[in-house]
Amino acid sequence: MAVPLIQASVLVADDAQTVRQSVRLTLGHLGITRVDLTSSVGETRRRLKNGQYDIVLCDYHFGEGMNGQELLEELRRTGELPLTTVWFMITAEASYEKVVAVAEVGPDDYLIKPFSGARLADRLTLAWEKKQYLRPLYDKIAHGDTAGALQLARELLTTTADAPYRADLQRILSTLLLEDGQLDAARKVFEEILQRRVVPWAKLGLARVYNRQSRKDEAEAMLKSAIDEHAQYVDAYEELAALYMADGRLDEAMAVYDQCLSIAPNNVSRLQKAGNLASMLGQPAKARAMLERAVAYGGNSSALAPETVLQLALAAKRDNAHADADRYLRMLSEIGRRKESFAGQVVGMLANALFSGRAQELDPLADFVLSSEFTLELAVSAIMTADFICAPSVPGERTNPANAPYRWLKPIAERFITSKYVSGLLEGACGQRASWAGYVRQLGAEIAELNKQTVQLMLGNRYAEAVERAVDTARRTRNHRLMLSATHAIVRYLKSQEAPLRERNLLLSTADDFLGRLYGVIEEGVLYSLSEDIDRLAHVR
């Protein structure tokens, strides 16, 4: 049921008091009386976290720091701004038209200052009517009913050839198909849109489909084309950087992030990604500068990851900036009180260990490592933390997996080393401790050798031996490279019809578990092929 505009609750966000009061007066003339005012990005975040608004009228420029567009992107991606909320941008810059024309996360409408009250009323009424029309679809998405949302989107599009808000419906449909893994269906929608006219978001969507279908060259070409045509298309830059990182082309990814941040310099999420990449590339000064900006602009933002603040605390300790280190550790304590996420728990434990200087505080690491939520970034932070608080190493130090720090290094190295690059990353986190780095290198070599033996056994059609060699270790270590090889071995073993009946269900369950853990880690084409094989084998009796 449509809600009348006069019943809407509105938040007006602008750093100029005269503008806030003027907009409030205009809304009053429309009969809208439930109006709150904010004057900064931080205050706007707090209001939106603590209450829900039907409409947000936001200034594009808040002075120094994050702008309204960057705030909108952040709030949509953290899920703190419901899809049903109208976001209306107000700006004095005519150039904003170029920004919004290629923004993946754009406002529902915008107005260039100065504008009349009648103009605001007309445009706001149109945006409100569209949002009310799409509300049933947004409600299904908000409740996680993807199948229902897809069905409704298709129904609205096919009810009439000139369906209202057709472009919006096509965008929602294609995005849902992509998120649901229906890649061919999503590709067809994007291609249909692009056949009629060049739409930047459709190009980006098609590039994402190509990327997930392992058509990397086509994805890269599509993204470069989108950037050439629309130089301010920050989302295309970010997607291209992610593609380069997945291929190990880190220097190219860093160059793309530099370009992207020159256009939209204060996006908290993007600053963190670029800062962490700079850290991986051995550029600590650049990394610290980017991460400090992320903290400065995202102090009370849900997009600010606790790992970022921990990295800054570690960098400050490395530089003997003790006051800064203590400030970041206090900030981590505050974040820990606000967040109950897995990453927050791990970072809280690492921060406590840094603050106390007691190595035994790191004992829970061995259990944390086995969680699918324990990331490589957390692993690097854990090793760096241990480097700061463990007793100094001595020449010729012997490795003992039963003692700290080796009892933490072992599960971390076995879990994450899938390439020489990752091994080098973990070795670098060990600082000047040659014995630690050597132990990590040794464990990585053992994982690589085990994987090599598994592949050789499969090539020799010795599938039972390959399963025996890989499955138990993959299950114990949760190593992605071993899990993938073990899954291939299980599929080939079951296809060979050599597996005893009593083993089939257990092996199928194991393979299914491995694929669940590999989702989002390996190429979707490989994941899809293995899933199809397992489904077919599950129905063979």
| CATH code at position 188 | 1.25.40.10
Q: Mark whether 1 and 124 lie in a shared domain.
A: yes
Instruction: Establish if 306 belongs to a structural domain.
Output: no
Report if residue 427 sits inside a domain. Answer: yes
d(CA 515, CA 488): 10
3-class secondary structure for 351-412?
Answer: HHHHHHCCHHHHCCHHHHCCCCCCCHHHHHHHHHHHHHHCCCCCCCCCCCCCCCCHHHHHHH
Cα dihedral value 454, 459, 463, 468, nearest 10: -10
Nearest Cα to Cα of residue 388 among 332, 329, 337 = 329
Domain count, the chain: 5
In total, the chain counts a number of residues equal to 541
d(CA 469, CA 271): 42
Within a domain: 304? no
Residues 217 and 255 in one domain: no
Quick one: 286 and 348 in the same domain?
no
Write down the pLDDT at residue 232.
Answer: 87
Hunting for tokens 């004057």 — which residue is that? Answer: 39
Same domain, 352 and 398: yes
User: Is the domain of 284 the same as that of 205?
Assistant: no
Which phi and psi angles does 298 have, rounded to 5°?
-120, 30
Using the 3D structure, point to which of 110, 133, 156 is the last residue of a domain.
Answer: 133
284 phi-psi bin (left φ>0, alpha ψ -120 to 50, beta other): alpha
**Do 377 and 428 reside in the same domain of the chain?**
yes
Report whether 173 contacts 155 (CB < 8 A): no
- For residue 530, is it within any domain? yes
- The answer to whether 166 and 185 are in contact (CB under 8 A) is no
Token pair of 391 as six digits: 């007793």
| Residue 301 forms part of a structural domain | no
Based on the fold, state whether residues 207 and 243 are members of the same structural domain: no
At 320 the pLDDT is: 85
Alpha-carbon span 123 to 128, nearest angstrom: 9
Is residue 485 domain-shared with residue 433, that is, in the same domain? no
Residue 300 placed within a domain: no
On whether residue 313 sits in a domain, the answer given is: no
Among 114, 133, 152, the domain boundary falls at: 133
CB of 311 closer than 8 Å to CB of 276: yes
Q: For residue 299, tell me if it sits in a domain.
A: no
The residue out of 105, 133, 161 marking a domain boundary is 133
Range(s) of the domain holding residue 272: 231-292
Residues near 121 by beta carbon (within 8 Å), at least 6 away in sequence: 26, 29, 30
**DSSP assignment of 160-195, as one string?**
-TT-TTHHHHHHHHHHHHHHTT-HHHHHHHHHHHHH
Q: Which residues contact 174 (CB under 8 A, 6 or more apart)?
A: 186, 189, 190, 193, 202, 205
Q: Are 289 and 265 in contact (CB under 8 A)?
A: no
Cα 430 to Cα 88, 211, 360, 383, 393: the distances in Å are: 49, 34, 18, 6, 11
pLDDT in tens, the chain (541 residues): 456 888 899 999 998 888 888 889 888 988 899 999 998 888 998 899 888 899 999 998 876 778 888 899 889 888 889 999 999 998 887 777 777 766 778 889 888 888 888 888 899 999 999 999 999 999 999 999 999 999 999 999 887 666 678 889 999 999 999 988 898 999 999 999 999 887 889 999 999 999 988 889 999 999 999 999 988 899 999 999 999 988 888 899 999 999 999 988 888 999 999 998 888 787 888 989 999 999 888 877 888 888 888 888 888 888 888 888 888 888 887 766 665 688 888 888 898 888 888 888 898 888 899 898 999 989 999 999 999 899 888 888 888 888 888 988 999 999 999 988 889 889 988 988 999 999 999 999 999 999 999 999 999 999 999 999 999 999 999 999 999 999 999 999 999 988 888 888 899 999 999 999 998 788 777 888 898 899 888 887 6
Say if residue 119 is in the same domain as residue 159. no
Residues 216 and 125 in one domain: no
Q: What is the CATH number of the domain that holds 13?
A: 3.40.50.2300
The answer on 444 and 529 residing in a single domain is no
Q: Is 112 in the same domain as 26?
A: yes
Helix or strand run (H / E) with residue 62: none
